[in-house]
């Protein structure tokens, strides 16, 4: 086992770092991006991730399976938890992958003495705030659907596991993490891949994070999210959506009365109801 995170810096490596959701869009980016920070990177997903490369372990696992997640977390020093349903879906789907899934991750962390978790939360925890409203990490949450509610649950659950068991967590309310912004809202919410990797590096190695909530966003011109209360992470984004503004503003604009244009969660506020 490595030293505690309290005395680590990022020139050191974790013995074994677990990445869930490794087969997904961001997981594939972090499969390469996190390699410098772990002697062994344990990759997990419910989908095929290909074979393990040097310095990797591949473990296919359904997050809804408590025993499998307990085995998955054994022998790991820290967890980057990205796995789960990443869009709005009927409650029953969200329940299994996200709500039971995050509970199983924290139970695994507790039983196997994992010191720190970086939890991929989402801007959809605050999606029913109006666009243009400035939010910090202590603002009232206004989830915009079952998906946002599941991330809100993950934020509360991780607070409980810190208060009760001392497991540190950084919850990242990620904005829109893609190779480039693709609509007007993303000029504000975009997080570049290099900034994502840097934010996760900071979240893994900063000292004494306790339970921290931070927004995952690049250094865009227009800002809805204030990371002042997460300054101790030392995250300084380098990229900006400005380079894409002309291309995006050439696209047709939404009607300002459309809820998609009014709320921070955009199209997520319009999903549902889901009938049986």
Residue 86 contacts ligand 15L per CB under 6 A = yes
H-type alpha helices, 63-172: 66-73, 91-94, 101-111, 146-165
CA distances in angstroms from 86 to 13, 150, 238, 246, 259, listed in the order given: 29, 10, 25, 29, 21
**What is the x/- site pattern for ligand NAI, positions 115-154, by CB under 6 A?**
-----x-x--------------------------------
Contact (CB, 8 A) for 47 and 23: yes
**What is the x/- site pattern for ligand 15L, positions 122-141, by CB under 6 A?**
xxx-----------------
CA distances in angstroms from 17 to 2, 57, 64, 187, 197, listed in the order given: 11, 10, 20, 32, 14
Stretch that binds ligand NAI, among 24-32, 132-140, 206-214, 226-234 (CB under 6 A): 24-32
Residues near 236 by beta carbon (within 8 Å), at least 6 away in sequence: 198
Q: Which of 176, 188, 192, 227 binds ligand NAI (CB under 6 A)?
A: 176
Pick one of ligand NAI, ligand 15L, none as the site partner of residue 158 (Cβ within 5 to 8 A by kind).
Answer: none
Structure tokens at 209: 């994070």
Stretch that binds ligand NAI, among 59-67, 132-140, 159-167, 200-208 (CB under 6 A): 59-67
Residues near 208 by beta carbon (within 8 Å), at least 6 away in sequence: 6, 168, 232
**What is the x/- site pattern for ligand 15L, positions 43-82, by CB under 6 A?**
----------------------------------------
CA dist 219 and 211 (Å) reads: 24
Residue 231 contacts ligand 15L per CB under 6 A = no
Give the full edge-to-edge strand order of the sheet including 56-60.
56-60, 38-45, 14-20, 78-81, 116-122, 168-174, 211-216
Measuring CA to CA, which residue among 240, 241, 227, 235 is closest to residue 135?
A: 227
Q: Which residues 178-197 are close enough to bind ligand 15L by CB under 6 A?
A: 189
Q: Which residues 206-225 are close enough to bind ligand 15L by CB under 6 A?
A: none
Pick one of ligand NAI, ligand 15L, none as the site partner of residue 189 (Cβ within 5 to 8 A by kind).
Answer: ligand 15L
DSSP-derived 3-state class of residue 102: helix
167/241 with CB nearer ligand 15L:
241
Annotated active-site positions, please?
147
In whole angstroms, the minimum distance from the beta carbon of 86 to ligand 15L comes to 4
64/204 with CB nearer ligand NAI:
64
Distance of CA 98 to the CA centre of its chain: 12
Structure tokens at 176: 């829109």
Residues contributing to the site for ligand 15L (CB under 6 A): 86-87, 122-124, 176, 189
Residues contributing to the site for ligand NAI (CB under 6 A): 21, 23-27, 45-47, 62-64, 82-86, 97, 101, 120, 122, 174, 176-177
């Amino acid at each position: 086992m490595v030293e505690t995170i309290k005395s680590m810096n990022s020139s050191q490596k974790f013995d074994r770092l677990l990445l869930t959701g490794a087969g997904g869009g961001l997981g594939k980016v972090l499969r390469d991006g996190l390699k410098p920070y772990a002697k062994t990177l344990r990759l997990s997903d419910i989908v095929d991730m290909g074979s393990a490369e040097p310095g990797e372990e591949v473990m296919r696992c359904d997050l809804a399976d408590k025993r499998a997640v307990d085995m998955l977390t054994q022998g790991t020093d820290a967890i980057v938890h990205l796995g789960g349903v990443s869009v709005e879906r009927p409650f029953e789907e969200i329940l299994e992958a996200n709500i039971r899934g995050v509970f199983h991750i924290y139970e695994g962390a507790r039983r196997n003495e994992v010191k720190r978790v970086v939890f991929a939360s989402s801007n959809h925890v605050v999606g029913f705030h109006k666009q243009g409203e400035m939010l910090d990490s202590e603002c009232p949450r206004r989830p915009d659907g079952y998906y946002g509610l599941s991330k809100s649950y993950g934020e509360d659950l991780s607070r409980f596991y810190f208060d009760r068991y001392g497991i540190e967590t950084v919850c990242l309310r990620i904005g829109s993490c893609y190779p480039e912004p693709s609509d007007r809202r993303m000029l504000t919410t975009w997080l570049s891949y290099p900034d994502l990797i840097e934010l996760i590096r900071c979240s893994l190695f900063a000292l004494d994070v306790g339970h921290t909530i931070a927004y995952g966003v690049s250094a865009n011109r227009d800002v809805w999210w204030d990371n002042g209360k997460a300054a101790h992470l030392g995250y300084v984004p380098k990229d900006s959506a400005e380079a894409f503004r002309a291309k995006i503003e050439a696209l047709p604009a939404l009607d300002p009365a459309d809820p998609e244009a009014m709320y921070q969660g955009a199209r997520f506020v319009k999903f549902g109801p889901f009938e049986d």
